[in-house]
Amino acid sequence: MKDSTKYAHLGRPKPELATAVNPDITRASTLLFDKAEDLYRSDIRAYGRHGSAVHDAVCDAFNHLEGGVGTSLTPSGLAACTLAIMSCVKSGDHILITDSVYGPTRSFCQGYLLTMGVETELYQPRIGAKIEERIRPNTSLIFLESPGSLTFEIQDLPKISKIARSKGVKTVVDNTWSAGLTYNPLKLGADISVHAATKYIGGHSDIMFGAVISRDEKTAKQVDKTRKFLGYATSPDDAYQILRGFRSLTTRFERQEQSSQELAEWLSGQNYVHRVLHPALPEHPDHDIWQRDFSGGGCLFGVVLKQVDQKSVLKFMNGLSNFGLGFSYGGFESVAIPCDPQLGRQFDPELSGPLIRFGCGLEDVNDLKGDIKQSSNAAF
Ligand SMILES: Cc1ncc(COP(=O)(O)O)c(C=O)c1O
């Protein structure tokens, strides 16, 4: 069964007499029992934090999306990243994270985890099999993101996960870029895949939500135990919106993916552009790995401009009207940000020009081109 068919039907209540198409939203902290004997049963939900039918439906959808066996839901995408990490590490461990990781994930590792006695080492995202040289006896985790945030490097996950597994090291992949529709880290050997469902799956830029999906039961149990220790819970209203997002995910994503590829190709021919960072373009340095491991793209890509001053970059950004200026992506509206102020890298990405990130929404791609054209004519 194709994903689009599956997501139209997943997690829906069995029709009885005039049944709503989606599960009910149950808002509750207290759940009442008619018998005191049942209060401490371990086989039932006893409290609001333990979820509801709509949460179960969302977990089913994520398990299907990633081909996983267990999902833990989190109140944001960053919380999904940090939960996955905390489930795999203990004091005294060493972890490896890609230099291209989402900035706040990196800050969490280098800041918070450091105070907890966990050492973080950054690795060059194109390290491939050489990751083996970085693994120490106390390495417990490799955290990947592919493509990397802002700079869009593709990692050789099959090689990295194979080496990690042979050494008892867990691999976690932040799979937000592909929405889980065009990249399947668990099938390529990762132990855990994480999503900022805030992006495509919410789809309307009005929900913060995350998910951690595990490849095997043992890992899934460990992640959910950690979630319970931390007290992470998600609201049933948000979970409902995420389930609703799944219903239209494939259609929205296809449009965004197509627009992003068309825009990336078009931009690579513009005279003010030095380089386009989109793995679907044949000139991307990791295009071959992308073709091998991905079945498609995402909505997000980067554009390195030829050398222009900061004033012109800001003039270009401020002149856009179909692209909102804002962080995040994956919603119905297109967005753009200048990236240089947040491009902290240990290994130089060698951009040699200002970097702008575009995220395509659902607008007509010719309107998006027209917007970029009018603003670049005025600015460059
Ligand atoms: C790759 C990636 N991971 C995680 C996150 C964090 O998600 P959230 O904003 O839901 O915390 C983001 C947000 O931009 C992201 O781009």
Instruction: Report the number of distinct structural domains present in the chain.
Output: 2
User: What range does the domain containing 90 cover?
Assistant: 3-244
| Domain containing residue 349: CATH number | 3.90.1150.10
Strands of the sheet with 192-196, listed across from one edge: 70-74, 210-214, 192-196, 170-174, 139-145, 94-98, 119-123
81 lines ligand 1 (CB under 6 A): yes
Tens digit of pLDDT for each residue in 310-346? 999 999 999 999 999 999 999 999 999 999 999 989 9
Question: Which ligand 1 atom is at minimum distance from the Cα of 208?
Answer: 10
Whether residues 240 and 293 share a domain: the answer is no
pLDDT at residue 51, as a whole number: 96
Cα-based angle 308, 309, 311 (whole degrees, multiple of 5): 125
Residues 158 and 86 in one domain: yes
On the question of pLDDT at 360 being above 90, the answer is yes
Are 228 and 259 in the same domain?
no
Q: Is 93 in the pocket of ligand 1 (CB under 6 A)?
A: no
**Whether residues 121 and 218 fall in one domain:** yes
Residue 253 shares a structural domain with residue 239: no
Mean pLDDT of the chain: 97
For ligand 1, whether the C-beta of 102 sits within 6 Å is yes
Q: Are residues 256 and 232 in the same domain?
A: no
The verdict on 150 and 275 lying in the same domain is no
107 alpha carbon – ligand 1 mean position (Å): 13
Please state the three-class secondary structure of 75-106 as a single string: CCHHHHHHHHHHHHCCCCCEEEEECCCCHHHH
Question: Which ligand 1 atom sits closest to the C-alpha of 327?
Answer: 14
Instruction: Please report where in the chains the tokens 């280098």 appear, as a residue.
Output: 110
Residues 328 and 229 in one domain: no
Q: Identify the burial level of 39 via C-beta atoms within 10 angstroms of its C-beta, where 0-12 means exposed, 13-18 middle and 19 or more buried.
A: exposed
What pLDDT is stored for residue 350 in this prediction? 77
Protein residue closest via CA to atom 10 of ligand 1: 77
| Residue 265, pLDDT score | 98
pLDDT (tens digit per residue) in 177-204: 999 999 999 999 999 999 999 999 999 9
**For the segment 94-147, what is each residue's pLDDT rounded down to a tens digit?**
999 999 999 999 999 999 999 999 999 999 999 999 999 999 999 999 999 999
**Does 157 lie in the same domain as 175?**
yes
**Domain match, 199 and 271 both:** no
* Residues 39-80 pLDDT 10s: 999 999 999 999 999 999 999 999 999 999 999 999 999 999
Q: Any residues with CB less than 8 A from the CB of 209 and at least 6 apart, and which?
A: 73, 74, 75, 76, 77, 196, 197, 198, 201, 202, 234, 238, 239, 242
- Could you tell me if the CB of 53 is within 6 A of ligand 1? no
- Work out the average pLDDT over 228-247: 97
Q: Is 90 a catalytic residue?
A: no
pLDDT band at 309 (very low <50, low <70, confident <90, very high): very high
